[in-house]
Structure 1
Amino acid sequence: MRKTIAMVLVAALGVTGCGAHVSEGDSGAVPAGYPVTVTNCGAPLTVRRPPSRVVTNDIGITELMFALGLDDRMAGYVVDQGQSGGIASSPWKGDFAKVRKLAEKINREVVQGAGADLVFAGWNYGFSEGTGFTPDTLRQLGIASYQLTEACRNGVGKQRGIMPPLDALYTDLRNLGKIFGVSDRAEQLVKQYSAQVAAVEGAVAAGRQRPKVFLYDDGRDQPFTAARNAGPDEIIGKAGGTNIFADLDDSWTTVSWEAVVQRAPDVILINDYGGEVGTVADKENFLRSRPGLRDIPAVKQGRFFALPYAALVEGPRNASAVQSFGAYLAGLSR
């Protein structure tokens, strides 16, 4: 949900919201270059000084902080047991070992206990009205929030996504760079990731038929998949494929098996949770056994490809995911 009020972080542990004026006497001198203001999910977020006790939720969000070299600004992170495999394979495994894991589920008690001055999470990435853990409730506790841009709500119910997924990644990198005073590092990462993606996209043969791809996250009665505002949509597209649910204006969402069968994907991209939410083999076996699915091109031809969860949600592994999937799709056309 978009906010039109400013959230002002005035000190390491102090927050003033609702567009309040911040006086120069608040909590000492303002560091050089501050305050800074960024736009986050359509609302201004102004910080008076760099946050120093950040709590992150989910692996991709946490890896964004690590990629920017901000492990020393963190009070801890929250990931569930299902993401342990992703941590083991993470390029930032050493950072995960240095920073404290606070819990497997984020809530008010966890962030208050950590003395958080900023919580970096997102809708369905920790924030939820159902649990009562939202940016609004944190603001009432004097804790600021930064929301993952991929998961920003777009004003239609609880649908998420306000820009293409890779643009969301680059927006968050640049915003975090400004908030923490590491804009040079942020720009280096954006340049690096953009170049990686452009190289893959440029290698897709002109006129080559793009295979139709179904992202299978999980779900037996109904599949959970990626619509056009989720990371896999551009991972698929930049790699040379077409997401069969790119017409849905949402992020991660539930569809029907009938729709999957009707759209007849050529390839199935599997979200690999590292065995905690069904192994890749379990998911393949299920897809092979379900009536109707057995006859779609991807299953008949055995065209399955898996990427780890941390590479599919917004995060610094997205560019390498484009490279990996692009190589796979290129191999199919030979």
Structure 2
Amino acid sequence: MFRRTPVRASSVGAALLVAGLALTGCSRGEALDQADSAAEPFAEPVTITNCDREATFEAPPQRIITMNHHVTETLVQMGAGDRIIGRAYADRDTETIPEVADEVAAIPALADEYPTWEEIVDLEPDMVVGGMRSAFDEKEGRSRDALEAEGINTFLFSEYCGEGFPDLGMLETDYSQLGSILGLEEDADELTNEIIDGLEEVRATLDAAGISGTPTFFYDSGEDVPMTIGGVGIGQMVGDYAGADNIFTEGEKPYVKTTWEILGERQPEAVVVLDYGATSAADKIAYLKQQPIMSTTPAVREDRFVVIPLDDLFQSSRMVTSAQTIARELYPEAFGQ
């Protein structure tokens, strides 16, 4: 278990922002008007270390830009939605989780993908939060060094710090740190526990039904060279909870390339298809069914496919949704279906 009671850095009486957020697509000027940058200081400065970067916060950030959709959802779930002055990735196929959909939709969308450096600095944020390394792409001028040189704090979800996602302790650390610097420790701790409890409930249901696991191929993309998940990412961990035993646990990356010949040797009994991008999940399944080697595997012969959005394999509450979806599809009898 990864729970712990967070130590409150102080009792923060920060004045929250005005609730009337501008609608998606508003101008930069309107976005600037929606927040009061002043915040009551912490009783004692809060210092964190994120991806080997130390940062000290004198007061809770009040003007936040979120660079990935799961980051936006997470901060809204923690109660910081009224401080988000802009969000990236407005052009997405995956629906927002229902509990925060209205609040996320009310946050100004800055770009279909990532906003430019100019769009970021023009909004005068006091923190930019990314959920993928590409959020702080140096070639695009958005490096953490460059932003911090402008006096803008940054935070990167640790699954992209370079060491994979070994266990839920990484999520707990990230959420605890975000809770501390936002002055929302209890909300962050509650969200952490909801995620942990949700995943453990899925695994407990399978254990009670006497289910161990099914050899599973996680199909990300690729026809000539298939891409799958490796043994160090969130996909691996979700599979463990959901009874989908990843057949490619080797390697030190969350995603790895393999070959159809190796897949033929390992004979997966199920396939989890990651749904994203220009190639639909239906098209990916159709390709697997006619691929000469994959068509001989038990997974394809028995038509045992599970489709989940790629968004559900990021560091967020969506991990619970993905585990539930996979487990229910593979083992409906365990859930009374």
Per-residue CA distance 1:255-302 (angstroms, 9 max, x = gap): 3333333322211111123xx522221111011122211112211111
**Stretch deviating more after TM superposition (135-144 or 252-261):** 252-261
Is this contact kept in 1: 2:130–2:155, CA < 8 A? yes
User: Which of residues 192, 198, 201 is equivalent to 1:199?
Assistant: 201
Q: Partners of 2:39 and 2:136 in 1: how far apart?
A: 33
TM-score (norm: length of structure 2): 0.80
| Equivalence for 1:158 | none
| Equivalence for 2:42 | 32
Q: Partners of 2:95 and 2:183 in 1: how far apart?
A: 28
User: Which of residues 165, 171, 174 is equivalent to 2:173?
Assistant: 171
Is this contact kept in 1: 2:42–2:58, CA < 8 A? no
Is this contact kept in 2: 1:51–1:180, CA < 8 A? yes
- Find the residue that maps to 1:220 and give its secondary structure: coil
- Find the residue that maps to 2:155 and give its secondary structure: strand
1:282 equivalent in alignment to 2:292: no
Q: Give the alignment of 1:144-293 within 5 angstroms.
A: 144-154=153-163, 161=164, 163-205=165-207, 208-273=211-276, 276-293=277-294
| Equivalence for 1:104 | 112
**Alpha-carbon shift at residue 80 of structure 1 (Å):** 5.4
| Equivalence for 1:120 | 129
The residue type equivalent to 1:171 in the other structure is T
- Find the residue that maps to 2:162 and give its secondary structure: coil
The residue type equivalent to 1:92 in the other structure is V
Q: Partners of 2:38 and 2:81 in 1: how far apart?
A: 24
**Alpha-carbon shift at residue 187 of structure 1 (Å):** 1.1
Is this contact kept in 2: 1:270–1:280, CA < 8 A? yes
Q: Partners of 1:124 and 1:260 in 2: how far apart?
A: 29
Q: Partners of 2:231 and 2:146 in 1: how far apart?
A: 30
Per-residue CA distance 1:95-141 (angstroms, 9 max, x = gap): 22110110123231221122222111144442334434321222223
Matched residue count: 297
Q: Partners of 2:138 and 2:287 in 1: how far apart?
A: 33
Is this contact kept in 1: 2:133–2:156, CA < 8 A? no
- Find the residue that maps to 1:45 and give its secondary structure: strand
TM-score (norm: length of structure 1): 0.81
Which 4+ runs in 1 deviate beyond 4 A?
27-30
**Alpha-carbon shift at residue 65 of structure 1 (Å):** 0.8
Q: Partners of 1:118 and 1:98 in 2: how far apart?
A: 19
- Find the residue that maps to 1:75 and give its secondary structure: strand
Q: Partners of 1:280 and 1:29 in 2: how far apart?
A: 46
- Find the residue that maps to 1:205 and give its secondary structure: helix
| Cα distance change, pair 115–198 in 1 and its aligned pair in 2 (3 A) | same
**Stretch deviating more after TM superposition (301-310 or 129-138):** 129-138
Q: Partners of 2:137 and 2:42 in 1: how far apart?
A: 36
User: Which of residues 39, 53, 74 is equivalent to 2:84?
Assistant: 74
Q: Partners of 2:317 and 2:304 in 1: how far apart?
A: 26
**Alpha-carbon shift at residue 168 of structure 1 (Å):** 2.8
Which is strand-richer, 1 or 2? 1
Per-residue CA distance 1:218-248 (angstroms, 9 max, x = gap): 2223233222232211111011221122222
Identity of matched residues, %: 28
Q: Partners of 1:332 and 1:220 in 2: how far apart?
A: 33
1:92 equivalent in alignment to 2:100: yes
Runs of at least 5 residues in structure 2 that lack an aligned partner in the other structure: 1-36
| Cα distance change, pair 251–50 in 1 and its aligned pair in 2 (3 A) | same
Per-residue CA distance 1:51-80 (angstroms, 9 max, x = gap): 111111121111111111211111111015
| Equivalence for 2:33 | none
Q: Partners of 2:99 and 2:119 in 1: how far apart?
A: 26
Q: Partners of 2:78 and 2:180 in 1: how far apart?
A: 11
- Find the residue that maps to 2:110 and give its secondary structure: strand
**Alpha-carbon shift at residue 28 of structure 1 (Å):** 8.9
RMSD over aligned CA atoms reads: 2.5
**Alpha-carbon shift at residue 212 of structure 1 (Å):** 1.2
**Alpha-carbon shift at residue 213 of structure 1 (Å):** 1.5
